[in-house]
Structure 1
Amino acid sequence: MSDNTICLQLKKLLSSEAQVQPGDAVDARLLTDFLGYEKGHAEVYVKAACAEDVRAAVAFACEHRMSVTVRAAGTNLVGSTIPQGGLVLDVSGMNRILELDEENRTITVEPGVLLCDLQAYVEERGLFYPPDPAEKNATVGGNIATNAGGMRAVKYGVTRDYVLGLEVVTPDGRLVDLGSKCLKDSTGLNLKQLFIGSEGTLGVITRCVLRLIDKPESTCHALVGFKSLREAITSVNEIKQALLEPTAIEFIERKVIALGEQFTGKSFPMPECSAYLVVTFDGRVGEPDHRLQRCREVLEPFHNIEFLPLTDPAISSDVWTVRSALAKAVQTSGLWEPVDTVVPLSDIATFVDYVSELSEKSGIRILAFGHAGDGNVHLCILKDDLPVEKWPDTLTYILSSLYRRVYELKGKVAAEHGLGRHKRNYFLKEVDPQELALMRAVKAAFDPHNLFNPHSGYSL
């Protein structure tokens, strides 16, 4: 069946608001991920306008044994949205806020709603959606599909902790409701949780019921400068042991900040420091300021530190502008590979030391930043002046070394970006065979023909 024939048949099944294009006419940006280095291909592209469009498109794909790659904003960093033929199903047009239930503290949205729009909407009404990934133009559905975390995870948890219910389309074209508005549920298997973090391998999310909490009355931040990254990371345990309940503890190397400054045109305070922590506290009026002062006292025994409360709006704005732009800043520096790993809190410093040693040994620049409060370490591996023909083998060596060390430290290769295509081989090499077999058994129960994201993550 030709691509044009597929399009004609799909148009008959979908609403008039849906868009259908043959694969050779699709914008290349819809066949890749945020990095844009690898381009996929597709037989047909569908931009759904409603859940019924999704159901009909998936049922058609199932009938004709077409693979399905789900996408929305395209901010994915590990290749999960790169199709290898079949149907590209875009849900970014399903971007309506459907219901705000203030009595039950829930909001119901379609998967294409942007995180920034959701946060602004609820905060204007005195409510709060805590998950806070750095990419605010990501969609809620994408956040759920990768179980995105972000800076506030140390206090509030990750996306998984705020999803109460999902409407999904299974790979055979059935529309199924999972979960509810209830805060507690021990009624059989929690199938909703299987979809969270599944990266589009089990079906398509078409509606999301999210838990909200009251918006904190007050928030304050401080920038803490250190002479070395190890000192910065070592101090994190002191902050946590002091029971200060930080909202976020971010660590950033100075050499990463320099890229952010160049990209944004903003200046970061304390340029003489080699590494920084950005510490955030929130709560009732007065509580965050008290905790911030206590944090300063806790860190006083560390030598050669600078502690700057971010009370000046201009300075605070510059700090957060630079921090939020780090991935985009690195993107402009040339070929690079983002690494998102997690290790036990007690081993963050050990892992970062290993990264420095590997960088020095290989001659490859590796930049570090991340969520020190929960062990999530982000790395940027840069090609710089390395000849392009040497980049693939060099990158494979660096990634193999990093992920092997992560597993030695009892960590995981993905904390919040997912596995996708880029991490698949490294994951399959290190994962326990019994764990992998169970994952694939779940996949087979939902998707017996292995149609959904078949080349990604743990898929067959």
Structure 2
Amino acid sequence: MEVTQTVPEKYTTHRVTGEKGKADRIAFPETETEIAEYLLQAAEAQQPIITVGASTGLTGATFPQNGEWLLSLANYRKILALDEETLTLQVQAGVTLAEIQAYLASTAYFYAPDPGSKQATIGGTAATNAGGMRAVKYGVTRENIRSMVVFLADGRKLTVGSLNNKDSSGYDLKDLFIGSEGTLGVITELGLKLRPKPAVTVSVLIGFEHLDDLAPVVYQILGSSLQPAALEFFDREAIQYAEKFLKEAFLAIKGECFLLITLDGPDEESLTQQLEQMSEASESWKKQSFRSLTNEESLRIWRLRGAIGAGIEDVTQQEPLDIVVPINKITATIKRLRVVCLQSNLRAVFFGHAGDGNIHICLLREGLVQAEWEKRLDVVLHQIYQEVAKRGGLPSAEHGIGLLKKPYFREAIDPVKLQVMQQIKQTLDPQNRLNPGKIFD
């Protein structure tokens, strides 16, 4: 096992703020024995330890602050087995989403979760319960993991979940570790739930003049027999960042804000029926345009949608938020938060997953000096999360809490719920050595 005190800069640099941290060493285990040995060494030395993946996270969840030991799973990245009888793909935690997608490309199956960064490791997406654009139909990461191997702080190996489709046998420990951001154990191996690839897909782009015109359409679609695989919203301002970044043009289509919808199905007939149903329903909508996309147009528009965040990062530092509210509160929340940002003299870009209430907000620095940027951020973030809480929302839909959202999480969460979480942490990690200081103190 390679262990070095020279820690690569990508592991000690905060991806969002650019802050420099400090880690005393990093290990790159390749076997379960090496993982257990390193955890035991850390326990004997009473050293905090942080598990790191591809460092694509947006909340500082793997950022080392106090000379922690790092455990990298960069070399623990084998695709172990495809079981077509149970539709399960067994992988090590260091495998990336891109590698999983490439492996499955020649098969009849796909892994449904589709977070923005395809270079994220599968272990990292489990640790944050990542979502993505297909969550509206296929669920987030939690709904797509059958089993996991987890190593506890003292080096013990624990298998959670199973290949069984039903389980009422005691506590559901698998779901406890998913979303725990490395604070309860080290996820090393996963059994992923696969699905047959849909035979046909089509995307539809619908343009609206006002956000208020868009919202009723979302409710109508979700309340119908239609089952969109993706249901995204964005406006022209957001897509312009992606256009400049990718050097690709959006469609010449009427509208200031848009719904991008993907439908899929087992055959052309079922897809045609879905399209006809949507087209008929759209006659009553206050839309400016309705366009069924060709395959080339669909690929281009989805590339642009996926590049909004990268396009913003290319021109300015940003503070990326991923709040979630009940779907019937999306429009009211965005309208209110636009006012909050304007009052704080910060520009913001809004887009996200209309089908599950997940709103992405990018707060733009745009040349502000560090002190002024931090001052305005402090004010606006407290206001944003207060407004979200008023509407029954939560501070994170799919990025986790990490460091950046910790103070707002503490303000939003029920004290009893927080106490129970802290008791679980104390039970599984009594010395508070696994990723200490993340999510809560």
**Shorter-chain TM-score tier:** over 0.9
**Residue of structure 1 equivalent to 2:169:** 187
**Residue of structure 1 equivalent to 2:199:** 217
Q: Which stretch shows the higher mean deviation, 169-178 or 43-52?
A: 43-52
Aligned runs of 1:108-257 on 2, under 5 Å? Answer: 108-257=90-239
SS of residue in 2 equivalent to 1:369: strand
1:33–1:139 CA distance, 2 compared to 1 (3 A):
farther
| Cα distance in 1 for residues equivalent to 2:209 and 2:290 | 13
271, 275, 278: which one aligns with 1:288: 271
Query: How large is the RMSD of aligned CA atoms in angstroms?
Result: 1.4
- 2:25 maps to 1:44: yes
| Cα distance in 1 for residues equivalent to 2:34 and 2:272 | 50
Q: 1:233, 1:251 within 8 Å by CA — same for their partners in 2? A: no
Aligned length: 439
How far the C-alpha of 1:374 sits from its partner, in A, is 0.5
Amino acid at match of 1:76: G
| Cα distance in 2 for residues equivalent to 1:367 and 1:145 | 27
How far the C-alpha of 1:130 sits from its partner, in A, is 1.1
254, 260, 284: which one aligns with 1:301: 284
Aligned runs of 1:23-422 on 2, under 5 Å? Answer: 25-35=6-16, 37-84=18-65, 85-270=67-252, 273-286=255-268, 287-313=270-296, 315-422=297-404
How far the C-alpha of 1:288 sits from its partner, in A, is 2.4
How far the C-alpha of 1:51 sits from its partner, in A, is 2.1
Amino acid at match of 2:382: S
How far the C-alpha of 1:436 sits from its partner, in A, is 0.4
- 2:405 maps to 1:423: yes
Q: 1:29, 1:36 within 8 Å by CA — same for their partners in 2? A: no
How far the C-alpha of 1:120 sits from its partner, in A, is 2.9
Q: 2:47, 2:433 within 8 Å by CA — same for their partners in 1? A: yes
Q: 1:254, 1:271 within 8 Å by CA — same for their partners in 2? A: no
Q: TM-score, normalised by structure 2?
A: 0.96
SS of residue in 1 equivalent to 2:23: coil
How far the C-alpha of 1:362 sits from its partner, in A, is 2.2
How far the C-alpha of 1:271 sits from its partner, in A, is 5.9
How far the C-alpha of 1:115 sits from its partner, in A, is 0.8
| Cα distance in 1 for residues equivalent to 2:360 and 2:50 | 26
Q: 1:80, 1:456 within 8 Å by CA — same for their partners in 2? A: yes
| Cα distance in 1 for residues equivalent to 2:275 and 2:97 | 28
Q: 1:32, 1:74 within 8 Å by CA — same for their partners in 2? A: no
Amino acid at match of 2:75: G
5+ residue gaps, structure 2, are none
**Residue of structure 2 equivalent to 1:3:** none
How far the C-alpha of 1:145 sits from its partner, in A, is 0.5
Amino acid at match of 2:120: A
Superposed CA offset, 1:269-308 (max 9, x none): 1365211111011111122232123222222222342111
Percent identity of paired positions between Structure 1 and Structure 2 = 37
SS of residue in 2 equivalent to 1:452: coil
Superposed CA offset, 1:292-333 (max 9, x none): 2322222222234211111141x2222122111122111112
**Residue of structure 1 equivalent to 2:3:** 20
| Cα distance in 2 for residues equivalent to 1:318 and 1:211 | 28
Q: Which stretch shows the higher mean deviation, 292-301 or 218-227?
A: 292-301
Superposed CA offset, 1:126-179 (max 9, x none): 012111112111111011001111111111111101111111110111111112
SS of residue in 2 equivalent to 1:109: strand
